Amino acid sequence: MRETVNELDNPTFRLAVAQFDQAAERMNLDPNLRERLKMPERSLIVSIPIRMDDGTVKLFTGYRVQHDSSRGPSKGGIRYHPDVNLGEVAALAMWMTWKCALAGLPYGGAKGGVRVAPDQLSRGELQRLTRRYAAEIFPMIGPDKDVPAPDVGTDAQVMAWIMDTYSQQVGFAVPGVVTGKPLSIGGSLGREEATGRGVVNVTLEAMRHLGVDLQKATVAVQGFGNVGSNTARIMQEAGVRVIAVSDKSGGLYNPRGLDIPEVLARYRVDGRHSLRDTKLGDWITNEELLELECTVLVPAALSEQITHKNADKVKCRILAEGANGPTTLEADQILTDKGIFIIPDILANSGGVIVSYFEWVQDAQRFFWKAKDIQDRLHEIITTAFHRTLQFSMAKRVTMRMAALMNGIDKVAQAHLARGLYP
């Protein structure tokens, strides 16, 4: 128990709790609810022994955390990354709770992960790791209990293995146990690009609110995974000039604008996955990208990228948080004082869970929607959440982050008060 508490004491979890405390204080939230909502509803730590291709057995550690289920099944991604730990997963689960509530989805928040570098595993090792992890968390997940999805280091294939493992355990196909699956087994059109498309939807609304001319606007995107690459592509399709993108090794910069489809084509060739190889712009570091002068900055990589050390050097007008927790508490205040319009993570990147909800509904109905319907419904839900948050922010004279948190937390608090305490 002491080890679990110590592992929770990590910077990402402290950030999530500090954000919650600030919102709870301003809301005068019931002290009993405050204590309950600070901690996960349940957490599972599992050992995952895997036989490697060379015949040795290696042990990995996995997690599944359910923060809250008062409004429905819990929902949240699974990430494979060397830095995964209980505190990070618990923080992400908490943010998922507020994110789902803010968007009006009938879910609570969850998150999972395995401490592993997936790019160092063969396909066979990755499949064995995934299936054993799925078997270990089997008691916690289910279409009416907890529904995983892809996150950093995982994709549709990983979801397919989890869906198959779960289905083998119960004896029949259960497509709704995960979202972000391949189309052939119940996946949804538009799911892969959903988070990036949602980031673009709310960013364009923010630009209209601030009177920004799209033709003169510029965008820099940190992170070129699923979220970052789709954000950059869809931004360019909307007519906005994308001047910089980056992956974990560094980034490309061209003040005249990058050709994102060409960058994507070269980036993916031969599976090299290095932006440097594309040679389509000047090479810059991730740190330099965050400090570029631009209209919109989209941190779409990992958490805590903008801190008190570099926040004063950020020169964007709009910060759209594609990643979870990319801005520390100290940096948040610095950016606010600079007059930067922040679209907080639980609003900006909620497109993924919104379309995951659509996939879950389609699986339950055994009836699938057209791509245009999905895009239109995503746009309606996320822009409605944006304008509701914006109006609350202006009416209460609080930041967008505080408005989003207060809205999400209030919905969860109301659910707890309605249901009461058992026993």
Contact by Cβ (8 Å): 46, 129: no
Predicted local confidence at residue 276, as pLDDT? 82
**183-197, 263-277, 331-345: least confidently modelled range:** 263-277
25 shares a domain with 167: yes
**Crossing angle of helices 31-38/400-419, nearest 10°?**
100
Mean pLDDT, residues 108-124? 97
306 belongs to a structural domain:
no
Least Cα distance to 192 among 201, 203, 181, 205 occurs for 181
211 belongs to a structural domain:
yes
77 shares a domain with 225: no
Q: For residue 6, what is the domain's CATH number?
A: 3.40.50.10860
Is 4's pLDDT higher than 60?
Answer: no
The 10s digit of each residue's pLDDT in 10-24 is 889 999 999 999 999
pLDDT averaged over every residue in the chain: 95
Predicted local confidence at residue 3, as pLDDT? 52
Contact by Cβ (8 Å): 251, 283: yes
Least Cα distance to 146 among 212, 100, 197, 207 occurs for 100
- Domain's final residue, options 301, 317, 343: 301
Q: What is the 3-state secondary structure (H, E, C) of 253-317?
A: ECCCCCCHHHHHHHHHHHHCCCHHHHCCCEEECHHHHHCCECCEEEECCCCCCECCCCHHHCECC
Predicted local confidence at residue 288, as pLDDT? 96
Contact by Cβ (8 Å): 405, 346: yes
169 shares a domain with 56: yes
Bond from prior residue into 73 cis (ω within 30 degrees of 0): no
* DSSP 8-state assignment for residue 5: H
d(CA 20, CA 37): 9
Q: What residues make up the domain containing 231?
A: 194-301
Catalytic site positions: 111
- Domain's final residue, options 286, 301, 316: 301
Is 1's pLDDT higher than 50?
Answer: no
Q: Please report, for residues 70, 146, 147, 161, 416, the alpha-carbon distance to residue 420 in angstroms, rounded to integers and kept in the order given.
A: 10, 22, 25, 38, 6
Rg over CA atoms, the chain: 21
Q: For residue 218, what is the domain's CATH number?
A: 3.40.50.720
380 belongs to a structural domain:
no
How many domains would you assign to the chain?
A: 2
155 shares a domain with 216: no
55 shares a domain with 90: yes
Q: What is the largest CA-CA distance in the chain?
A: 63
pTM, rounded to two decimals: 0.94
Map residue 164 onto helix, strand or coil. Answer: helix
203 belongs to a structural domain:
yes
Contact by Cβ (8 Å): 36, 88: no
The pLDDT confidence band at residue 248, using thresholds 50, 70 and 90, is confident
Predicted local confidence at residue 110, as pLDDT? 98
Other C-beta atoms within 10 Å of 403: how many?
24
Burial class (CB in 10 A: 0-12, 13-18, 19+), 122: exposed
- Domain's final residue, options 270, 301, 332: 301
> Which residues contact residue 276 at a Cβ distance below 8 angstroms, ignoring those fewer than 6 apart?
249, 250, 283
Is 273's pLDDT higher than 70?
Answer: no
161 shares a domain with 49: yes
> Which residues contact residue 68 at a Cβ distance below 8 angstroms, ignoring those fewer than 6 apart?
37, 41, 74, 97, 108, 109, 412
Least Cα distance to 302 among 326, 274, 271, 338 occurs for 326
Predicted local confidence at residue 177, as pLDDT? 98
Is 265's pLDDT higher than 90?
Answer: no
The pLDDT confidence band at residue 2, using thresholds 50, 70 and 90, is very low
57 shares a domain with 25: yes
The 10s digit of each residue's pLDDT in 222-242 is 999 899 999 999 999 999 999
